[in-house]
Amino acid sequence: MSDFYDRPGVLERYREATAGVSDPQHVMEEPALLEEIGDPRGLRVVDLGCGYAAIGRTLLEAGCASYLGVDGSARMAGRAR
């Protein structure tokens, strides 16, 4: 299943669906994860199944020491770069 996002057109549809204000990653997942992590300053974070690693930038800007995003989709990883 890791190649799902590598299929033609899937990543583009995913990006369209997550580009708006109602993106579940920004509305639900990100606040919950940030609350669980607490102060990220100095932390080294590994994000398995990172998708396009949207939270990586947030963590690094908040002082996270390092962020490594890992995803099974080559296209998602490419988008994250």
Domain CATH for 18:
3.40.50.150
Report the predicted TM-score, pTM, of the whole model to 2 decimal places: 0.67
CB hemisphere CA count around 59 (13 angstroms): 26
With vertex at residue 79, the alpha carbon angle to CA 14 and CA 61, rounded to the nearest 5 degrees, is 105
In sequence order, the 6+-apart residues with CB closer than 8 A to the CB of 60 are 67
Residue 23 pLDDT more than 70?
Answer: no
Where in the sequence is the domain holding 44, given as residue range(s)?
4-80
Domains in the chain: how many in total?
1
Q: Residue 12: what pLDDT?
A: 76
Q: Residue 64: what pLDDT?
A: 96
With vertex at residue 63, the alpha carbon angle to CA 28 and CA 56, rounded to the nearest 5 degrees, is 45
- The span from the CA of 36 to the CA of 72, in Å, is 24
Q: What digits encode the pLDDT tens for the residues 30-72?
A: 888 899 999 999 999 999 988 888 889 899 999 999 999 998 8
Residue position matching structure tokens 């962020």: 67
